[in-house]
Chain A
């Protein structure tokens, strides 16, 4: 039928004017352009998702893309908490009350279950969600002007939801809009799953790298320990073997005899102490330390210890003193273990201070972190410890002079063992020092 043929009912159809044809063409062109824009939006989103982004950037770009697509300034995106399954949290929102939407998280877990089960569509208006969402959550969404909800899914797992407000400019209902929104939500869901997977992989890689680094450090420490043990154990053994050979062969006179016997005894005692330190450290690291807790008068213990230790300290050209507290300080601890810790601290102080130095023992009470503590302090006026090495000295095999050419011997286990022993008594051991200002070791034990 052409324009010249009259309609069968005999009526004359109104002939379209040029301007109405123009308007119709404009409308058609506009609808085509809008449809093209929808497809372009999906293409843009796909391109954005190929960029390296963390989860925060991804949800932010995803939400603004869908806002631009829908032409709305009101939108929100919730994501599933990775640590708490079934819990959704508001990730980002624009143009809406975040407190209102934060409160809307409660009903989303149920909705997620229904979407996975297929009883609720992945994209739905708030009206369509009546029955799937509780009234309170629906009320929160409506008060924020969000009336279209899309599900972010990957591998049948709901990773989040997007809520969109009404478009600012009405452009007519088009079922294609919902399809595009559904597709965009699907792309975002996969993008979100990828971002989380990549973040987990990075985390694991970092953990592995850290573990590798620690293993390398342990390996280096093991090598250094073997070198140290070789040196520290062989030196006294060489003296013992040499001196005993001289005695056996009768190569020393009567005067030298006593001196050689004393030499053998001293070196053997030193060896014994080293072995004891190693055993203590071994027991400490395998949590085998046994302690008896009883009230210990620290003033009395330090006094006895100072008097028994003084001769050896004096022989090395140093001095040891006890400055007693005016009030009795009683700890609930193991007196034998306290003496062992003291022995290591004083041994450390005398070995790392120059001849003529002074070591002072003291005790006091202290209130710390709500608890009452009995404190033993061992202070010296030696060269001090640089700040960067202060905590490391408690690590096994570490000494202030960590170089392979260090001049002061020892296994580097004494302070590590001392800390383990203190901790086994429920206490702490710390060091305070400044180079040139001496060092102060503080053993804090539970007060009786």
Chain B
């Protein structure tokens, strides 16, 4: 749980979006780090894919950040998809019945296809 979050980013041209590959712990500190990292892309009008395959812990604050980001992207007419959620992420989201609100995809490729659709 003490693994600090690292964010590896990549750009996709078609569909035009930013992919963040997260590794480590999505806790309070990691959540704030993620929000700061998303801010410029949100301002630039880019949709986003959060690849959570290597997120080994997600706290309530991490869930709260995902909810806040999803709502904010939606308000701006953008989309945010969560790709390859790890078992920890999937369980936390499922427990709160948030699967329908947070757009989960089995893989990054699937998220790309959904964004392109």
User: Using a CB–CB distance below 8 Å, which chain A residues touch chain B?
Assistant: 30, 33-34, 37, 40-41, 44-45, 48, 51, 57, 60-61, 63-69, 71-75, 94-95, 167-171
Task: Tell whether, in the assembled complex, residue A69 and residue B60 are in contact, meaning their CB atoms are under 8 Å apart.
Answer: yes
State whether A65 and B64 are in contact (beta carbons under 8 Å apart), knowing that A44-B27, A73-B70 are contacts in the complex.
yes
A-side contacts of B95, CB under 8 Å: 30, 33-34, 37
B-side contacts of A51, CB under 8 Å: 28-29
A-side contacts of B67, CB under 8 Å: 67-68, 71-73, 94-95, 168
A-side contacts of B56, CB under 8 Å: none
State whether A95 and B68 are in contact (beta carbons under 8 Å apart), knowing that A44-B27, A169-B101 are contacts in the complex.
yes
Is B31 part of the contact surface with A, judged by Cβ < 8 Å? yes
CB-contact partner of B71 in A34, A37, A61, A73, under 8 A: A73
- In the complex, 7 of the A-B residue pairs with CB atoms within 8 angstroms, ordered by the A residue number, are A41-B60, A44-B61, A60-B32, A60-B35, A61-B32, A67-B67, A68-B59
In the A-B complex, list the 10 residue pairs whose CB atoms are closest, starting with the nearest. A169-B97, A64-B64, A68-B63, A67-B64, A68-B60, A68-B64, A73-B71, A61-B28, A94-B68, A95-B71
Q: Please count the residue pairs between chain A and chain B whose beta carbons lie under 8 angstroms apart in the complex.
A: 103
State whether A171 and B97 are in contact (beta carbons under 8 Å apart), knowing that A64-B31, A68-B67, A94-B71 are contacts in the complex.
yes
B-side contacts of A170, CB under 8 Å: 97
* B79 nearest CB across to chain A (Å): 15
A-side contacts of B63, CB under 8 Å: 67-68, 71
- Total number of B residues with any Cβ neighbor in A under 8 Å: 26
Task: Tell whether, in the assembled complex, residue B72 and residue A48 are in contact, meaning their CB atoms are under 8 Å apart.
Answer: no
The distance in angstroms between the C-alpha atoms of A170 and B50, with both chains bound, is 26
**What is the 8 Å Cβ interface bit string for chain B, positions 46-83, against chain A (1 contact, 0 not)?**
00000000000001111111011011100100000000
State whether A61 and B101 are in contact (beta carbons under 8 Å apart), knowing that A30-B95, A68-B59, A68-B60 are contacts in the complex.
no
Task: Tell whether, in the assembled complex, residue A48 and residue B64 are in contact, meaning their CB atoms are under 8 Å apart.
Answer: no
A-side contacts of B101, CB under 8 Å: 73, 168-169
CB-contact partner of A95 in B60, B75, B98, under 8 A: B75
* B81 nearest CB across to chain A (Å): 16
B-side contacts of A41, CB under 8 Å: 59-60
Task: Tell whether, in the assembled complex, residue B61 and residue A65 are in contact, meaning their CB atoms are under 8 Å apart.
Answer: yes
Task: Tell whether, in the assembled complex, residue A65 and residue B60 are in contact, meaning their CB atoms are under 8 Å apart.
Answer: yes
B-side contacts of A63, CB under 8 Å: 64
* A65 nearest CB across to chain B (Å): 4
